Chain A
Amino acid sequence: MSALGAVFRRDLRLAWAGGGGAAMPLAFLAGATTLLPFALGSERDVLEPLGAPLVWITLALAVLTSLERLFRADVEDGTLDQLLMAPVPLEAIAAAKGAALWVANGLPLAAAGGLLALMLQVPPAAAVLVGLSLAIGAMAFIGFGLVGAAVAAGVSRGGLLVALIVLPFYAPPVIFGAATAQAMAMGEPFVGPLALLAGISLGAAALGPIAAAAALRVQAD
């Protein structure tokens, strides 16, 4: 277990070290969300139903921007060799890296998303709930994202490849996540779509690392 702890702690440190790579998705989320009222107008009856779903879509895209370097950096500096030779299953290492990305990147994004929802006319109590739904959703985006990041690990400038692989998988969590967030913002019952969203997130968190490890083993040759 200490090997997995080492991977987790190292990725946490790397996410915010040296200029803070994790700050970029946050800036993207804040920037894109701030521009939305300029496009849609700031009237309450327009923004109230749309604000929370729009934060959801922006968060999905913000997570996407953090995926390209996730395994690519380890391929370039040889760390992937170290991970492949380790006496720990590669599936567990991929899961540890995904968990670190969720803590370093997903949780700050979800917190920022909740705050930004306030700006889009979501009532304060609902904004807290929206932030929680974003944290659950980030788990799905990172779980599916691991697969795309692993497939593109051997490709320099693999960002496009990551997006092409990952975006179709982002449809289900966006559908149920946006529905959850909208129901929260409008004060309607949201347990149904939230349960489906949580199911998708847990599935992605469980299966993503397995698929990612298989893709990484092929890259090693």
Chain B
Amino acid sequence: MFATHRRVILDTALADPAPAASTDSEAPRLEVTGLAVMRGEFVVFAGLSFTTQAGEVIALTGPNGSGKTTLLRALAGLARPAAGAVHWHHPGARPDTEGAFMHFLGHRDQIKPALTARAHLVFAASIAGDRAPPDPAALLQAVGIGRLADIPTSVMSAGQRRRLGLARLMAAPRPVWLLDEPTAALDTRGRALVADLLERHRRAGGLAICATHEDLGIGGVRRVELPERAP
């Protein structure tokens, strides 16, 4: 019953029963072959193939509507491929439990206005199978919203909500980060923070894939360009 909806095909040969949360030192590798995703009647993109290695930061570029967000959702197992496959080569990779080895920051920011920033960090860790972060206030301080830790997030600006998302990246180690417009709504210091996080993640052997229209602020970023959608 649970396996009927296997949206991401995983390399089971490499799968290992060890809990995913503790395997962040393992190098993740992604292989996308002939991927096509449809939304309703529309083909968003088709025939997309690329591979990535650990320690890479990928900038996913392309014009509006070319399918950057849809591709990220397919990589996260949230959109079903119409053709082709997404292979995650990582010991923690399992279908329908992607949260155990990746962070996904979408443009819907997973924030409940009535709850505090601290409660969001604790919930994000618990739902992904982690212990609650020992010091949520310090993480929020590190992303510049320490003052807002214990009041409802409804008072936060768009940039501050983004920063809460960045705090989630630090709250639990994950080898794979899928970030949709990570620098959107952020000021200069916020962008520097994103660059710093990506640099540290890359150095630790992680893989980051960012859908973006902007410069990520670090060197050595590989670009994967999505073509304009055929009319």
Contact = CB atoms under 8 A, between A and B. Distances in A.
A86 B111 contact: no
Interface string A78-100: 11011111111111000000000
Given A77-B108, A81-B106, A210 B78 contact: no
Nearest to A18: B114
B2 A221 contact: no
Given A84-B78, A221-B80, A3 B129 contact: yes
Interface residue SS majority, chain A: helix
Contacts of B80: 221
Contacts of A82: 99, 110, 124, 127-128
Given A87-B97, A87-B99, A81 B110 contact: yes
A214 B5 CA distance: 9
Residue of A77, A82, A91 ringed by the most chain B CB atoms within 10 A: A82
A78 B110 contact: yes
A10 interface: yes
Nearest to B168: A82
B109 interface: yes
B119 A85 contact: no
A10 B107 CA distance: 22
B115 A10 contact: yes
B5 A85 contact: no
Interface string B49-87: 000000000000000000000000100111110000000
Interface in A164-221: 210, 214, 217, 220-221
B152 interface: yes
A97 to B, nearest CB: 12
Interface string B167-183: 00000000000000000
A20 to B, nearest CB: 10
A153 B104 CA distance: 21
Contacts of A86: 97, 99-100, 127-129
B79 A87 contact: no
B39 to A, nearest CB: 8
Interface string A44-82: 000000000000000000000000000001001111011
B20 A87 contact: yes
Contacts of B115: 10, 13-14, 17
A18 B100 contact: no
B226 to A, nearest CB: 19
A5 interface: yes
B71 to A, nearest CB: 14
Given A6-B123, A84-B96, A86-B99, A79 B2 contact: no
B113 interface: yes
Contacts of B102: 85
B1 interface: yes
A221 B82 CA distance: 11
A124 to B, nearest CB: 38
B127 A3 contact: yes
A77 B128 contact: no
B126 A2 contact: yes
A85 B114 contact: no
B99 A85 contact: yes
B118 interface: no
Contacts of B104: 81, 85
A129 interface: no
B94 interface: yes
B176 to A, nearest CB: 11
A6 B80 CA distance: 28
Interface in A2-31: 2-3, 5-7, 10, 13-14, 17-18
Given A82-B99, A85-B128, A86-B99, 13 more contacts: A10-B115, A14-B112, A77-B108, A78-B108, A78-B109, A81-B78, A82-B124, A85-B76, A85-B78, A86-B100, A87-B97, A220-B79, A221-B78
19 contacts: A2-B126, A3-B129, A6-B123, A10-B123, A13-B114, A78-B110, A81-B108, A82-B99, A82-B127, A85-B76, A85-B96, A85-B97, A85-B102, A85-B128, A86-B129, A87-B20, A87-B94, A87-B128, A221-B80
